[in-house]
Every structure is written in C-alpha cells, then in structure tokens.
Structure 1
Amino acid sequence: MAGGVKKPVNIFKLKDLNEPKGIFNWRLWFAVVSFGLLGAARGVDEGLINGAFNSKVFQHSINYENYSETERANIKANVSAMVQVGSIAGALLAFLVCDRIGRIWATRQLCVLWVVGIAIFMGHGNNLNAVYAGRFIAGLGVGQTPVVGPVYIAEIAPASIRGLCTCIFTGAVYLGIVLAYFTNYGTQVNIGDTTPNRWLLPTSLHIIFAGLIFVLTFFQSESPRFLIKQGKHQEASKIMSRLRQLPEDHEYVVREIAEIRASHEEEMEATMGSSWTGVLKEMFLIPNNAYRLYLALTVQLLSQWSGAGSITLYAPDLFALLGIEGTTESLLASGVFGIVKFVSAIGCALFLVDVIGRKRALLIGITLQAIAVTYIAGFLTATPELGTVDDYVLPHYKVGPSRGAIAMIYVSGAGWALGWNSMQYLLTAELFPLRIRAVSTSLAMTLHFANQYGNARAVPVLLLPGRSGGITPAGTFWFFAGVTVVGGIWVWFFVPETGGRSLESMNRLFELPWYRIGLHGNVDADRLDMVIDEKQVDMLGGAAEHIDEAGEKRTSREAHV
C-alpha cells in the first residue's frame, strides 16, 4: 500500500466495494428490520401450534380423545399443516400483489389476512372445521411473507451487506419461534393446562406481530427497484437518496439508479412478450433464467425434506420421544432449542454469509445437520422401543446416549439456521432479474410451502410404528439424514457463490456454461467483470490512473464513477 496506509478490514463483508460509509445508516436498518419482522409470521406459528394443540383444554374442545390413534395423528397433522396449505395459495398470490400494488401495500394486505385467519381460529376453537378454515386464511397471509420480505430487503440493501440484511428475515423466524416456545412454557407454568381457553393467550402473539408490522409500513417507502419497473424514475431516485442518506445527485446514488435502469431496460429488450405468458417463457425458456429457477426450486425441495422444519414444528414431541419427561420440561427444552437457532441465525448473518460467503456457510450448516440427524437415527435404531412401546422406561445405560441425542437436536437446529434456512430465502431473493423476480420468488415459495405442508403432514404419521402405517422414528430420521447428505453434495457441485455482487451484475454468473457455475462461477464471473470493466475504461478514454485519499491507485473507470 502506498505510504504504508492500510484500509480497515470490515469483518462483516466478503468484498470491499468502495461504498460510502454513510449508506449504512439508521434509515436503512429501520427498513430492513421492519420488513425482516415478516419472518416472525412463520416462526410464531411453528412455535405456537404444537403447544396449543397439546393443551388438554383444546383437545377436549374438538373431542380429540374420541378418535383412534391414527385418526388423532392425522388431525394433529392437519391442524398443524393447515397454515402451510393456505401458504401455498398465499405464495402464488404474492407475485400478483407484489407487482401490481407494490411491496408496501402487499405487506399491509397480508397482515390483514393473517389477523382475520387467526381471529377465526381463536373464536371457533370448539369447531374443527372452523379451526381448519381459520388457519387456512391465516396461511394466505403468512405464505406471502417469504416473498414480500426478502424481495424488499434484497432490493434496498447495498450489495456488500445484502446477505446480512436478508438474513434479518431468517433471524425474525427464530425470534418468533423463541417467543412462541417461551409463551407456551410460561402459560403452562403459570396458568396450567385446565384453565378454559388457556391456549388463546399464546395464540394472540400472532395478532401482536401482525399489528406491529402493519403499523411499521407507514414509516417506510416503496422499493426503488419496483418504482423503476413502474417507470417512476424520479420517485425512485428520491427514495434511494433517502435510504442511502446521500444527495440525489451524489455519484453513488446516480450510479446505482443508472445501473438498475440499464439492467431493467436490457431485460425489457429481451422480453418475450408483456403478457403473463411472456413472463413464464422468460423464466423457463431463457437458459440462464431456467438455471436460476432450477437452483431456487431445488433449494426448497432439499431444505424442507432434510427434516429440520419438522423438528421445529414438533420439537416438544421429539424431546419427549428422546427421553425428556413431562409437558413442562419438553416445552422448556423447546424454548432453549429456539434460542440456539436464533443465536445461530444471527451469527450466520453477522459473521458468515457476507464474510466467508453464502456457499461455505451453507455447507457448514448442512454438515452439522447431517452429523446430528445421523446420530439421532442411530440412537433410535439402537433403541427401537422409543415411540413404538407404550410406557417404555429407558435403561440406565442408555441415558447417556439419550442425552447425546437430545444435544444433537440442538446441533441440528444450529446447522439448519446456519445453512438451509438462511439460504432458502437469501438465494431465492437475489438470484433473479428484476422483471421476473417477484413471480420467480413466488413460485419458489409455493414449492417451499407445498413441501413444508407435506413434511408437517407426514411426520406425525411417519413416526408411528410400522404396523400403524409409519416407518418408525428411526426410519424417519434415516430418511432425513439421507436427504441432508444428498443436499450437501448438490450444493457443492451446483450452487454458485453470489456474495458481493449487485443484483444487476448477477447475470455474469449465469452467462457461463451450466457445468461451471457451481464450482467455478464466481472466479469466472469476476474475470468477465474485469474484461467488461476494461472495455468500459477504453470507452471512457484510456486507463489513466488516479490516486485516492489513502494513496491507492484506482482505474479511470472508478475515478469517473
């Protein structure tokens, strides 16, 4: 370095993109947190529903005790999974709403659907059909959250910290889970299991979060990228200036808006028609878009069937299965499980996803998850009586391995938070060009909820003994282990590193041959960037060098920018 001056190292970034310091300001973080809280919709439901359903009062209200063992497993699965059924439709609805009325109004209407559904569920807890209907309607709102939230955040975040910002959504999922688990635990300890309608208290957490997010939208501005898509360039420039806390004519704001406009105009020139059929053709018939869609859809498929979502949803049951006795104790263990996942998600956001990159963070998480579920599968294989023999008492010599299996539930949660659960939202939100971003994300999230529904619906039955239609607890976890290992191999060969790239420069990765994208994409794309930069330098009149304030040399392109 000239003069011995060194640039400070930013531990939260994979690449230094020479962004002005002022762009990382309170207004940006306020917007990120406001839309990141949408992640709590899923977390609250996953954390609450099992505790609410296990309430004796709730079970008595729907005459649960009058059904056979298999019927009870199916009813429990249906009640738990009905939000996922609604979410499938909600995710499909999201792209229409997002692209027609914008990200802000999309958020407001999903909050209304969310509250209406939960209100029906709470008001008709003694009617199983009304319970199903209320949770389905709530799902219409909840299903839109992983489309609207990550897309908005990815569209306003600076490239160098886009991963961190988008992972705030993931952190909110676990914030919702932690609050839900401990609300269930606190209700159980302080109110007990016999107070009429005691399950309504924790369920009201849904309404608290939906109301808070609805109010926060009135303090936020529309996504500049959405406005450019709508042709409102001046308004987009003003909002970008406000988000970056820089003058509208500042070189950074001017460049960012110009790049978004140029990218969108390029997309429009390559359009296959302005109708919805044209958009679908662009998604499936343009090779680089089809590869992006293949990545986004496969991420959803492999992540959901790795089993971690089911472990979250049925955590109290699984802790009881592995040897934790008593409803209160299993709820407490579930609460600690939520904290582990929350801390892991925040750690991933701060220190991994934008530091070592998306792909490495994902592989670390998958490795932890694979080790954990394989151990649990092995323990359940060695102790086949668990989950298959009523009132089975664990022998003394198996208490230690049992505690190991319980610990592995926590390791699995940490791996899921570090890996699949962070990436299934981040990669989906940042892969696609602006014109098809909302519809592609919507399609990916539809598959997300379809698989989540299938998983949530199947697991209570899969855990049953083979004679009752299941594959036993051991078989269920061996299946999860197999999917997790396959997922890790797939990520290694097919998923590219997307960290440090602007949304508009993502095309460089997908202009490469498909077989190089996963293993060599980032390096090849960087070389392509350099070639393009050199051409732009020549167009600007040569490669004259300039000296910046730190004494370092920059190319004429950087100086012009």
Structure 2
Amino acid sequence: MAGGAKKPLNVFRLGDRDDPKEVFNWRLWFAVISFGLMGAARGVDEGLISGAFNSVDFQNTINYDSYSKVEQTNIKANVSAMVQIGSVGGALFAFVVCDRIGRLWATRQLCVLWIVGIAIFMGANGNLGAVYAGRFVAGLGVGQTVVVGPVYLAEIAPASVRGLCTCVFTGFVYLGIVLAYFANYGCELHMSDNTHKRWEVPTSLHIIFAGLISILSFLQYESPRFLVKKGKHEEALRNLARIRHLPEDHEYVLSELNAIQVSHEAEMEATHGSGWLGVVKEAFLVPSNLYRLYLTAMAQIMSQWSGAGSITLYAPDLFSLLGITGDNETLLVTAVFGIVKLVAAILCALFLVDVIGRKRSLLLGISLQAISMIYVASFLTDVPGMGVDEDFVLPESKRGVSRGAIAMIYVSGFGWALGWNSMQYLLTAELFPLRIRALATSIAMTLHFANQYGNARAVPNMLLGVDAGGISPKGTFWFFAVVTALGGLWVLVTVPETAGRSLESMDRLFELPWYKIGLYGNRDAEQRDLVSATKAQEAGMPVGEHREHADNTARV
C-alpha cells in the first residue's frame, strides 16, 4: 500500500479490501449521520400519527364522533396513509431530481416540501380536506428521503462498510419512531387533552428534523459518482479525496475513481449515450437489470405485506387489542417497542450486515418475524373474542398467554429491524449500475410506498369482524404469518449475497441464469474474481491494482 500505511482493524468488514486507515474518517461518518437522518422522516410520521389521531382534541377538531364506526375506521386509515400516497409521487419525482440537480439539492428541496406539508396539516383547523392535503404534500418530501438518502450513502461508502453506512439510515427510522412514541407519551402525561398542544407539540418533530437535515446538507460534498455521471471528473476527484481523507494522487483514490469512470463509460457505450429513454430501456431490456428490478419489487411486496410496518403504524391499537389497558400504559408499551426496534437496527448495522452478510441477516430477521406472527395468530384464534366483541373480558387463565403475545410483538419488531426493514433499502441502493441507480431506486421506493399505503389503508378494515367486512384480528395475523414465511423461502432461493462487493463489480453476481443467481450467484462471482485476480498477477499487474482490474473487468 502507498506510503506504507497500516491496514486498519475493522471488525465490521466482510472480507479484506485493503482499505487505508484514513478512509474511515470523521468526514465519512459525518456524512453518514447527516444523510442517515433522512430515515427519521418515515419513522417520525409512523410514530406520531397514531398518537395525534388518538388525541381527543384532534378528534374533536374533525368532528370524529359524528361519523359511524366504519366511517371512523376509513377516516383514520386515510389520514394515516395519506403520507404514503404522497410518498408514491415523491419517490417517482426523486429520480428526476437526483439525476438533474444532484443528491445535495434534492435533499434541500425535499425538506422544503416536508416542512410546507406539515405546516398545512398543523394549520388545518379541523378541516379534514386540509388535513389530507397537508399530509399528502409532506409525503411528497418524505417519499424522496428513501431514494436520496440510501443512494447517497451507498455511493460514498467504501465497499467494506457499505452495509453499515446504509443501515444507519434504517437506524434513524427507529430513532424517529422512538422520539415520536415518547413525545406522545410525554404529552399524554403532562398536557391536557383539550388543547392543540397535545398533538401539535409532538408533530413539530417533523419540522425539527427537516430543518436539521437541510442545514447539514450544506456541510457535505456532492456524490463523486453523480459528478462522474455529469462529466465533472475533476470535482469528483476532489470530493472523493476529501471524503476518503487522502491526497488526490493517492493510489486508492485514483483506483476507485477510475473504476467508477470505466463503469460509467461502459454503461454509456452499451446504450450509445442515449437520454432518459435509454436509461429506461437499459433498466427493463437488459436481462440482469430486469432481474434486479424483480428482486427489489418483490422485496417491497413481501416486506410490506408481512405486517411489521402496519404494526409500527398502529402499535397503540394493536397493544390494546392484545390486552394492554389504559392510554398511559399503552403509550409506554408502544414507546418501549420503538426502543426494541432501534436496538435491533443498531445490532444489525454494527454486527450483522457486513459480518454475516445481507442474506443471512435477512433470513434471521424473517425467521423471528414468522415465529412471532404465528404465535400471535394462534393466541387470537384461541381467544376469538379479542378485538371483535366490545364486551369481551380476557379470562384470567389467558393473561399469561396474552403477555406472551405482547412479547411476540416485540420479537417481530426486532426481527423486522434485523431483516426486511434494513435490506429493502440496502439491496435497492447497491444492486444497480450507476446509470440507472436513481431510476431503479425510485421505482423500488414507489412500490415501497404504494404497498405501504395499501397495507396501512387495509389493516384497520382487516381487523374488523367478518360482519363488518373484515377478516378479524386472527385472520389478519394468519395472513401476515403466511406472507412472512413465503418471503423467507423467496429470499433463500432468489436473493444473492452482496456484502463486500464494490458497486462497480455487482454485475458479476448476475452472470448466471436467473434461476441459479440466488443459490449460486455469490460463489460463482467469487470464482470469477479469483480468476480475474490470477490473470492480473500473471500479467504483472501491481497488487494495488488487482481490485480495480476485477471491478473494471466485471463491467466491460
């Protein structure tokens, strides 16, 4: 290595990438935290809206009691899910913004939309239409966070810690949830429910996070990969050197930049430099890219309909359903639930995703989630009156089983944080070539929010009894259990391991026939890497250039 730099001790890395110790510096971690904060956008909303809606003052301002039970259910579902509807448009819009004005300015404009939407929501004065409109506009901003944040993090992170860096985004999802849950709990304890402050004070967390993210964006450097895409190679070199905390002429920096340039040139040559239509064609007509789109699409469908997202959104209601009584106790149990998910996300980021790999971490999380859903569904089957009969009283003999079901909700949240909720962002951000990355991520996140909206909108009605048009609580959880189990089988067969592989060499995973990629893609890619490195050595190529050679060969 140049300058005789010692290889850093990094327990989080999967494999040996010969990274200089300077690469893991404060600028990298500051950027990771700054863009990871965007994860809090979704978490804050999911954690706050149920508390706001359960506020007596908020219900009075929209004349909630004047509606029938079914109408109340629909209004609650619509208000809760309106951010997801807006986020569908936001996720699609993010592709255009990311590729036109860059990752930094995309961040700033989404924060403006986010703040404007929340301001409309808080100033609605009970007008249900304005409530819907405000949450829709906020969704346009929130929907872009899941594209801009993970894409930027994946593009600036060294391959050896890319999983850790991208999973910070997921960790902040749960930080947002925890802060939101405890804000609701604190306001329930210390504020009168007959004042707007009871729900407006927690809701102000949206504005705090959006403002902080916007300010921090002015202290960051634009993604070198985006700059290469725009032909700004000198600026890309300067930014990459700053982020890596190395001189511009350092072998590591030049090698990485060259790999990015060769990769992009190969993509441009393959599509003859065509415009946005060429990008779309490349995404859908190149078989390996189409398979990657299939992976990300199925990941969104399986993850969202496994039920964990709706459990987060409607946690207070579900804990009440399983036997927790009293508003204070319900909100406290819900807040602890948020802490459990935050701890799981931290453990996944630090000790799993870059150590045991993406696929094993995902399968571990899905297994915990499936066991939890089966237990809760079995409990509700054994006690069919829970959540269906308003006059039902839980027998004393079933209280222990009820506590077990509540504990299993915690286990499901832990599994969700280890598995689906981390991987749905990480895999989407790292699978695709630079030229189509923003488009592919936008498509995946559009499906993310479309399915999240469908799930958030459907669950309140699904929980209703059969007579009211639902499938009952037990039917809802059996549905979640089946989808979770099917998702685990699908991951085992179709998803390859991506840990430790540079973004420019990701194509190597998809050189097998599609039906072999999930089971044998990683082993085949490692064999091809070995052959490439052996040929490089035989050609007399310096050791420091082996990685560059392997990455470039994978693209050309």
Task: Please say whether Structure 1 and Structure 2 have the same fold, judged by a TM-score greater than 0.5.
Answer: yes
Amino acid in structure 1 at the alignment position of 2:248: E
Amino acid in structure 1 at the alignment position of 2:342: F
Cα 1:404–1:560, aligned 2, differ >3 Å: closer, same or farther? Answer: closer
- 1:369 corresponds to: 369
Equivalent position SS for 1:195:
coil
Q: Is the 8 A contact 1:57 1:197 kept in 2?
A: no
Q: Is the 8 A contact 1:272 1:282 kept in 2?
A: no
Q: TM-score, normalised by structure 1?
A: 0.95
**How far is the alpha carbon of 1:557 from its aligned partner?**
4.3
- 2:262 corresponds to: 262
- 1: CA distance, partners of 2:7 / 2:244: 22
Structure 1 stretches of at least 4 aligned residues deviating more than 4 Å after TM superposition? 6-9, 554-561
Equivalent position SS for 2:464:
coil
Equivalent position SS for 1:73:
helix
1:325 is the counterpart of 2:325: yes
- 1:224 corresponds to: 224
Cα 1:132–1:261, aligned 2, differ >3 Å: closer, same or farther? Answer: same
Equivalent position SS for 2:387:
coil
Equivalent position SS for 1:198:
helix
- 1:134 corresponds to: 134
Cα 1:460–1:538, aligned 2, differ >3 Å: closer, same or farther? Answer: same
Q: Is the 8 A contact 1:170 1:421 kept in 2?
A: yes
- 2:417 corresponds to: 417
- 2: CA distance, partners of 1:267 / 1:423: 26
After TM superposition, list the pairs within 5 Å mapping 1:216-365 onto structure 2.
216-271=216-271, 274-365=274-365
**How far is the alpha carbon of 1:560 from its aligned partner?**
10
Q: Is the 8 A contact 1:273 1:279 kept in 2?
A: no
Q: Is the 8 A contact 2:7 2:21 kept in 1?
A: no
**How far is the alpha carbon of 1:310 from its aligned partner?**
0.2
**How far is the alpha carbon of 1:517 from its aligned partner?**
1.1
Q: Is the 8 A contact 1:537 1:556 kept in 2?
A: no
Q: Is the 8 A contact 2:432 2:440 kept in 1?
A: yes
**How far is the alpha carbon of 1:558 from its aligned partner?**
7.2
Q: CA RMSD in A?
A: 1.6
- 2:116 corresponds to: 116
After TM superposition, list the pairs within 5 Å mapping 1:2-401 onto structure 2.
10-271=10-271, 274-401=274-401
**How far is the alpha carbon of 1:387 from its aligned partner?**
0.9
- 2: CA distance, partners of 1:11 / 1:409: 31
1:508 is the counterpart of 2:508: yes
- 1: CA distance, partners of 2:149 / 2:7: 34
**How far is the alpha carbon of 1:328 from its aligned partner?**
1.1
- 2:492 corresponds to: 492
Q: Is the 8 A contact 1:308 1:416 kept in 2?
A: yes
Amino acid in structure 2 at the alignment position of 1:72: Q
Amino acid in structure 1 at the alignment position of 2:442: S
**How far is the alpha carbon of 1:271 from its aligned partner?**
1.1
**How far is the alpha carbon of 1:521 from its aligned partner?**
1.1
- 2: CA distance, partners of 1:523 / 1:560: 19
Q: Is the 8 A contact 1:540 1:557 kept in 2?
A: no
**How far is the alpha carbon of 1:195 from its aligned partner?**
2.5
Amino acid in structure 2 at the alignment position of 1:259: A
Q: Is the 8 A contact 2:170 2:421 kept in 1?
A: yes
Give a deviation string over 1:342-386, Cα, whole Å, max 9, x none. Answer: 000000000000000000000000000000011000000111111
Give a deviation string over 1:46-81, Cα, whole Å, max 9, x none. Answer: 000000000011001101001111000000000000
Q: TM-score, normalised by structure 2?
A: 0.96
- 2:438 corresponds to: 438
Cα 1:90–1:557, aligned 2, differ >3 Å: closer, same or farther? Answer: closer
- 1: CA distance, partners of 2:297 / 2:546: 38
Cα 1:477–1:27, aligned 2, differ >3 Å: closer, same or farther? Answer: same
Q: Is the 8 A contact 1:381 1:474 kept in 2?
A: yes
Q: How many residues align?
A: 545
Equivalent position SS for 2:19:
coil
Cα 1:153–1:558, aligned 2, differ >3 Å: closer, same or farther? Answer: closer
- 1: CA distance, partners of 2:180 / 2:546: 52
Equivalent position SS for 2:51:
helix
Amino acid in structure 2 at the alignment position of 1:480: F
Unpaired runs of 5+ residues, structure 1, are 1-5, 547-553
**How far is the alpha carbon of 1:197 from its aligned partner?**
4.3
- 2: CA distance, partners of 1:362 / 1:532: 30
Cα 1:428–1:558, aligned 2, differ >3 Å: closer, same or farther? Answer: closer
Equivalent position SS for 2:356:
coil
- 2: CA distance, partners of 1:430 / 1:184: 36
Give a deviation string over 1:110-165, Cα, whole Å, max 9, x none. Answer: 00000000000000141000000000000000000000000000000000000000
Q: Is the 8 A contact 2:183 2:202 kept in 1?
A: yes
- 2:3 corresponds to: none
Cα 1:69–1:557, aligned 2, differ >3 Å: closer, same or farther? Answer: closer
After TM superposition, list the pairs within 5 Å mapping 1:514-553 onto structure 2.
514-540=514-540
Give a deviation string over 1:412-447, Cα, whole Å, max 9, x none. Answer: 000000000000000000000000000000000000
- 1: CA distance, partners of 2:464 / 2:343: 32
- 1: CA distance, partners of 2:405 / 2:188: 25
After TM superposition, list the pairs within 5 Å mapping 1:401-412 onto structure 2.
401-412=401-412
- 1: CA distance, partners of 2:75 / 2:119: 20
Q: Is the 8 A contact 2:296 2:428 kept in 1?
A: yes
Give a deviation string over 1:259-285, Cα, whole Å, max 9, x none. Answer: 000000011111166232221111111
- 2: CA distance, partners of 1:142 / 1:50: 17
**How far is the alpha carbon of 1:556 from its aligned partner?**
8.3
Over the matched positions of the two proteins, sequence identity in percent amounts to: 70
- 1: CA distance, partners of 2:422 / 2:412: 14
1:453 is the counterpart of 2:436: no
- 1: CA distance, partners of 2:391 / 2:195: 27
- 1:550 corresponds to: none
